[in-house]
Amino acid sequence: MILLWYVLIPTVAAPLAWLAGRRSPAAARWVALAGTAAPLALVAAQWIAATDRLSAAFTAAGPGAAGLAAGSWVVDLRAPWIDSLGISFFVAADGLTLIMLLLTFGLGLLSVLCSWRGITTRVGAFHFMLLWTVAGLAGVFLALDLFLFYFFFEMMLIPMYFLIAVWGHERRVYSAVKFFIFTQVSGLLMLVAIVALVLIHGRATGVYTFDFTQLLGTPLPAGTAFVLMLGFFAAFAVKLPAWPLHTWLPDAHTDAPTAGSVLLAGVLIKIGAYGMLRFMAPLFPDAVAAFRTWALALGAIGIIYGAVLAYAQSDMKRLVAYTSVSHMGFVLIGVFAWNELALQGVVLQLVCHALSTGALFILVGGLQDRIHTRDMARMGGLWRVAPRMGGTAMFFAMAALGLPGLGNFVAEFLILVGVWQVSRWAAVLGAVGLVFATVYALWMMQRAFQGEETHRLSFPDLTRIEVGMFASMIVALVLLGFWPQPLIVTARQTVDGLQRMTAGTALVAPGADASTSTDGASGGPAVTDGAADTGSAPATGDGGAP
């Protein structure tokens, strides 16, 4: 039942915020703050309460569909909805869900805070849209019924559209429409794939249902599976965004209000990765394996292409947007490498990227509020004016380029080490992408904050709210950089479950995770033996390079 609250609280708070906004803008802000803080507290409480369960060894009886249905859910809720079509209101949470919910509400809270000064028109409506987006996002991460998933997937699109189109910047309508069309078209492809899958499953078994756990393991001819997988991939690749379907993102980010950018970069695009992990790969493991080479290539291209284009931008917000393209390339190759190292890296990357990029967007938004431009040609030498801002920007620029000691490094390292076992070239290209990341991050710092102070701007340094927001994000990133274990433990059951569900398919290369299947051998000194065993057949360690 607690899961329902995650969706209900923001949904109900949204009209309240609108009503409150008619009286005073401040009231709307406080309602929105409560509407995101309350579920955040709930998730945190649930996370802490579930610690024992999450850290317990994976208990499912066997591989395959049963494993998922049986053991890995912390909590679930199933209620009939449209029975005649086999659609039910089926929501559940495991470690991955909890992480995504933490992100959703945490960044939701931050986006309310960062709009505190920046949004002055139609404040009530703004927070209505914001809260509904948050509600939709929460629903997406909770749903296990494919129809319900699609419902939330589309539902949060509409308030997001209005956030960009109404409160956005210069080309807001163009960007909003572009965002909408991209997502809508690819979403429809996914809907077709979902319906086809349900029909095929129904014909084979006589049970017409949208329940994900029942659809798992539906026998499909290879060709059909590949086509259906492409339908899912289209939707998630657009969301992620994967090269070459990324072009909506720079526009949407650039023109969205700060809160919109934070939610977009922090949570919305994470749906792509989440959907691939949760639905696409378990449903079509062999097709995903067949597509692996292509996806790795797309991801590697995206990493480098995004970084080079980030370097080429003069609009600071657009630069940050392109860094997202680059970072999500890591996520894509990580997902398709599909071993424990890479998947854990992906989960970490989702969190760390949300924090670091979200912070950069808040920073750029704050800068724009102060000097009314995002054009770096009109900045320069701002460090002297606002040293705290400069130091903060430096920190998050370092996070963007994957500096060890921050969470992003652990994530990228795990992803690349996992990818290396599948394809060395993709891993090498990813590592080269880190060089380009250095180029754009330092270039951004030079153009905005260092160098000569040519424009003689003067504006106030960070406010207290901003200091608080950034400090919390900095602490989180440093913690994740030196001690990411809590997050890894939380996601472990999910990752293990995914590995087991796809065990025996072409996706999990035999031998490639000799180390992952012997979970008991993990831990400091015990590695000696395990490593010696698995390492004695070095040829298998890097097998399967395409």
Partner 1 sequence: MLSLLWLIPALPAAGSVLLVLFGRRLGRGGTAWVGTGSVSLSAVLALLVCGSFLAAPPAGDAYRQVLWTWFDVGGFAPAIGLHLDAVSIVWVLVITVVGFLIHLYSVEHMERDDGFTRFFIYMDLFVFSMLVLVLADNLLLLYLGWEGVGLCSYLLIAFWQEDAQNVYSGRKAFIVTRVGDTALIAGLFLLFTHYHTLEIGQLMHLVASRSPAPDSGVVLAAGLLLLGGAVGKSAQAPLQTWLPDAMAGPSPVSALIHAATMVTAGVYLIARTNVLYTLAPDARLAVAIVGTVTLLLAGFSALVQRDLKRALAYSTISQIGYMFLALGVSGWEAAVFHFMTHAFFKALLFLAAGVVIVALADEHDIFRMGGLRRELPAVFATFTVGAAALAALPLVTDGFYSKDLIIATSLGSVDGGAWFYVASLIGAFVTGLYSFRLVWLVFFGARRTEVSRRPRWRQLVPLYALAALSVTGGFVWMPAWLGGFEPLRKLLDTALPPAPMEGAAAHFAESVGAALITILVVAAGVGLSYVLWMPRRERTQAFAAAPSVQPLVALWLGGWGFDWFYERVFVRPVKRFAHWARHDLVDHVVGGIAWLNLAGWRGLSAGQNGRLRGYLAVTGLGVVLVLAVVVLR
Query: Which of the residues 345 through 384 are near partner 1 (CB under 8 A)?
Result: 345, 381, 383-384
Tally the C-alpha atoms within 13 A of residue 346's C-alpha that lie toward its C-beta.
32
Tally the C-alpha atoms within 13 A of residue 305's C-alpha that lie toward its C-beta.
16
Q: Residue with structure tokens 């199933």?
A: 78
Query: For residue 226, what are the contacts with CB-CB under 8 A and spacing of at least 6?
Result: 284, 287, 290, 291
Asked whether position 188 contacts partner 1 by CB under 8 A, the answer is: no
In this chain, which stretch among 27-35, 87-95, 148-156, 481-489 interacts with partner 1, using CB under 8 A? Answer: 481-489
Asked whether position 51 contacts partner 1 by CB under 8 A, the answer is: no
Asked whether position 446 contacts partner 1 by CB under 8 A, the answer is: yes
Q: For 480-522, give the secondary structure using H, E and C.
A: HHHCCHHHHHHHHHHHHHHHHHCCCCCCCCCCCCHHHHCHHHC
Query: For residue 357, what are the contacts with CB-CB under 8 A and spacing of at least 6?
Result: 265, 266, 320, 323, 324, 327, 400
CA distance 278 to 265: 20
Q: Work out how close the CB of 521 gets to partner 1 at its nearest, in angstroms, rounded to a whole number.
A: 6
**Could you give the 3-state DSSP secondary structure of residue 423?**
coil
Binding residue (CB under 8 A) for partner 1 from 80, 405, 468, 546: 405
Q: Work out how close the CB of 353 gets to partner 1 at its nearest, in angstroms, rounded to a whole number.
A: 17
CA distance 180 to 2: 32
Q: How many contiguous H segments (helices) and E segments (strands) does the chain have?
A: 27, 2
Asked whether position 482 contacts partner 1 by CB under 8 A, the answer is: yes
The answer to whether residues 344 and 493 touch, using CB atoms and an 8 Å cutoff, is: no
Complex with partner 1: residue 66 or 417, whichever CB lies closer: 417
Complex with partner 1: residue 369 or 533, whichever CB lies closer: 533
Asked whether position 534 contacts partner 1 by CB under 8 A, the answer is: yes
Q: Work out how close the CB of 306 gets to partner 1 at its nearest, in angstroms, rounded to a whole number.
A: 10
Binding residue (CB under 8 A) for partner 1 from 184, 224, 438, 472: 438
Asked whether position 413 contacts partner 1 by CB under 8 A, the answer is: yes
Asked whether position 414 contacts partner 1 by CB under 8 A, the answer is: yes
In this chain, which stretch among 150-158, 197-205, 280-288, 407-415 interacts with partner 1, using CB under 8 A? Answer: 407-415
Asked whether position 189 contacts partner 1 by CB under 8 A, the answer is: no
Asked whether position 175 contacts partner 1 by CB under 8 A, the answer is: no
Write b or e for each residue in 417-452: b if 16 or more Cβ atoms lie within 10 A of its Cβ, otherwise e: ebbbbbbeebbebbbebbebbbebbbbbbebbbbee
Complex with partner 1: residue 201 or 292, whichever CB lies closer: 292
For residue 315, the cross-strand partners are 375
Asked whether position 451 contacts partner 1 by CB under 8 A, the answer is: yes
Complex with partner 1: residue 217 or 511, whichever CB lies closer: 511
Asked whether position 488 contacts partner 1 by CB under 8 A, the answer is: yes
Binding residue (CB under 8 A) for partner 1 from 105, 153, 162, 311: 311
Asked whether position 244 contacts partner 1 by CB under 8 A, the answer is: yes
In this chain, which stretch among 205-213, 370-378, 409-417, 502-510 interacts with partner 1, using CB under 8 A? Answer: 409-417
- Kindly tell me the burial class for residue 174, based on how many C-beta atoms sit within 10 Å of its own C-beta (0-12, 13-18, 19 or more): middle
**Could you give the 3-state DSSP secondary structure of residue 471?**
helix
Asked whether position 457 contacts partner 1 by CB under 8 A, the answer is: no
CA distance 293 to 300: 11
Asked whether position 538 contacts partner 1 by CB under 8 A, the answer is: yes
Binding residue (CB under 8 A) for partner 1 from 82, 312, 465, 475: 312
CA distances to 190, 218, 291, 362, 468 from 196, rounded to whole Å, are: 10, 12, 20, 42, 49
The answer to whether residues 47 and 490 touch, using CB atoms and an 8 Å cutoff, is: yes
Site track for partner 1 across 191-230, x = CB under 8 A: ----------------------------------------
- Kindly tell me the burial class for residue 374, based on how many C-beta atoms sit within 10 Å of its own C-beta (0-12, 13-18, 19 or more): buried
Asked whether position 309 contacts partner 1 by CB under 8 A, the answer is: yes
Asked whether position 183 contacts partner 1 by CB under 8 A, the answer is: no
Query: Which of the residues 249 through 288 are near partner 1 (CB under 8 A)?
Result: 250
Q: Work out how close the CB of 511 gets to partner 1 at its nearest, in angstroms, rounded to a whole number.
A: 12
Complex with partner 1: residue 404 or 504, whichever CB lies closer: 404
Asked whether position 470 contacts partner 1 by CB under 8 A, the answer is: no
In this chain, which stretch among 58-66, 103-111, 290-298, 528-536 interacts with partner 1, using CB under 8 A? Answer: 528-536
In this chain, which stretch among 71-79, 164-172, 225-233, 440-448 interacts with partner 1, using CB under 8 A? Answer: 440-448
Complex with partner 1: residue 88 or 421, whichever CB lies closer: 421
- The distance of Cα 199 from the centroid of its chain, to the nearest Å, equals 30
Complex with partner 1: residue 100 or 437, whichever CB lies closer: 437
Asked whether position 173 contacts partner 1 by CB under 8 A, the answer is: no
Q: What does residue 91 show for φ and ψ, rounded to 5 degrees?
A: -120, 150
CA distance 36 to 388: 28
CA distance 439 to 424: 23
Site track for partner 1 across 325-344, x = CB under 8 A: --------------xxx--x
- Kindly tell me the burial class for residue 253, based on how many C-beta atoms sit within 10 Å of its own C-beta (0-12, 13-18, 19 or more): buried
Complex with partner 1: residue 293 or 540, whichever CB lies closer: 540
**Could you give the 3-state DSSP secondary structure of residue 177?**
helix
CA distance 28 to 241: 32
In this chain, which stretch among 69-77, 99-107, 212-220, 436-444 interacts with partner 1, using CB under 8 A? Answer: 436-444
Binding residue (CB under 8 A) for partner 1 from 59, 247, 458, 463: 247
Asked whether position 461 contacts partner 1 by CB under 8 A, the answer is: no
**Nearest alpha-carbon partner for 146 in 279, 335, 235:** 279
Q: Work out how close the CB of 438 gets to partner 1 at its nearest, in angstroms, rounded to a whole number.
A: 5
